[in-house]
Amino acid sequence: MNHAAGPTPVGRAGNPRLKGPQVTRPDTKSRIASLLADIERRNPAQPEFHQAAHEVLESLAPVLAQHPEYADAALVERLVEPERQIIFRVPWQDDHGKVHVNRGFRVEFNSALGPYKGGLRFHPSVNLGIVKFLGFEQIFKNALTGLGIGGGKGGSDFDPRGRSDAEVMRFCQSFMTELYRHIGEHTDVPAGDIGVGGREIGYLFGQYRRITNRWEAGVLTGKGRHWGGSLIRPEATGYGNVLFAAAMLRERGEDLEGQTAVVSGSGNVAIYTVEKLAALGANAVTCSDSGGYVVDEKGIDVELLKQVKEVERGRVSDYAARRGASARFVANGNVWDVPGDVALPSATQNELDAASAATLIGNGVKAVSEGANMPTTPDAVHLFQEAGVAFGPGKAANAGGVAVSALEMSQNHARTSWSRERVEEELTHIMNGIHADCHETAERYGVAGDYVSGANIAGFERVVGAMLEQGVI
């Protein structure tokens, strides 16, 4: 992977998480503070988006201090404003004939590096602020892959849990009836996220094909493997997260083999995180859902977990009941109370707070790698960094999913499919390259070992370089 060139190292300022000489120009700090205030004013009642913007902009102080041309071109002001925000009504009918109305979203944030790329999330918590936070993070995540894709995100406050296949199909068809006019393989390429798996992608693609009369395989990723999908795509986010964690440990002279891992969640990301941990010799002892968590001293049986969650759509309590004496279910408990060498939050945003971070640190955690999007609160990140815990932010650590989505787009463009071995080799190369970029960028800016700053700055440099060359658009 090509590593972005940049200015000579400078000290870090403007972020209380980090140590180092405070050499940032005062006008840069003032400008960032003004930008953050403006973001909150123009985007009221969107705390997740505010949080993501704060985390990124506070990392950029040394870059902006070294590059006054970025201010002259208002690149940051343009970067934090989506190119397009789409909100639409999604009416659908349940199996009893009752009509429901949900709200659909697609935020096309930045296309300087390529077509918008990012998942669709179907969950009752979805609102514009959450979609904007996810889309903003996606800009940098996608840039880090080096694969020529922009950032976007979307979804709906529809809850597919407990709905029949027919109800999910009718909802997806209604959702795509509006979304189709805003997407395309050269414009915007959605994928899956929470609540959107292979079933939903299939229904969405079928409706897109029906409306447009085009077999445009590259318009959606995460498709079925026999009609344009890529091998390793379901596994990619979890696999990539483990690969990033392994790279962080290698940087410290350690290895994943023999380590105990604490994993949250029990969806796609968590399942394949557990699977890859086992493949690399680590022992994942937990999984969780909204009802509580399971501790399995023998290690999570990934095949049983897949059966319970992917086939039966059951709960982790069902896993514990069927696993036997090695597993126990803790209702409404905190999975981060379980001791482990490595923690991989893989459920949802802000699930790991400062109190949980303190518990993990007290239990001797060595590395934390984010499988979910922004699952760790800012205070918790601060504690991990102060304690010297290797911390992999989601925009770097969970980029494996979108990376293989981009590889799926490449296969679709050539109307071919790659072997499992080739896709996994490409994924490993990409994740190791992302780790190297983040690590080297942090060193270049005088904050060695800070993967948060490294990821933010490396992604930012790639995006704003393209924006600067493409003019004021």
Does 138 appear as a known binding residue? yes
Identify the pLDDT of residue 27. Answer: 82
Does 237 appear as a known binding residue? yes
Smallest CA-to-CA distance from 27 within 54, 64, 1, 56 is with 64
- Give the C-alpha separation, 136 to 22, whole Å: 27
Does 298 appear as a known binding residue? no
Which residue is associated with the tokens 């999330």? 121
Identify the pLDDT of residue 462. Answer: 98
Burial of 409 (0-12, 13-18, 19+ CB in 10 A): buried
Give CATH superfamily name and number for 84-216.
Leucine Dehydrogenase, chain A, domain 1 (3.40.50.10860)
For residue 128, which phi and psi values (nearest 5 degrees)? Answer: -60, -40
The question of whether 153 is a catalytic residue gets the answer: yes
Contact 183, 219 (CB under 8 A): yes
- Give the C-alpha separation, 172 to 102, whole Å: 11
Burial of 421 (0-12, 13-18, 19+ CB in 10 A): exposed
Length of the chain: 473
Fold type of domain 236-397: Rossmann fold (3.40.50)
DSSP-based three-state secondary structure for 355: helix
Tell me the three-class secondary structure of 18-82, residue by residue: CCCCCCCCHHHHHHHHHHHHHHHHHCCCCHHHHHHHHHHHHHCHHHHHHCHHHHHCCHHHHHCCC
Identify the pLDDT of residue 171. Answer: 98
Identify the pLDDT of residue 392. Answer: 98
Does 192 appear as a known binding residue? yes
Adjacent-strand bridge partners of 86:
106
Identify the pLDDT of residue 6. Answer: 40
Q: In which residue ranges of the chain is pLDDT below 70?
A: 1-26
Does 141 appear as a known binding residue? yes
Q: b/e for 434-452, b at 16 or more Cβ within 10 A?
A: bbbbbbbbbebbbbebbbb
Among candidate residues 19, 29, 98, 153, the one labeled active-site is 153
**Strand pairing category for 342-344 and 260-263:** parallel
Smallest CA-to-CA distance from 242 within 37, 399, 441, 56 is with 399
Q: Specify the amino acid at residue 52.
A: A
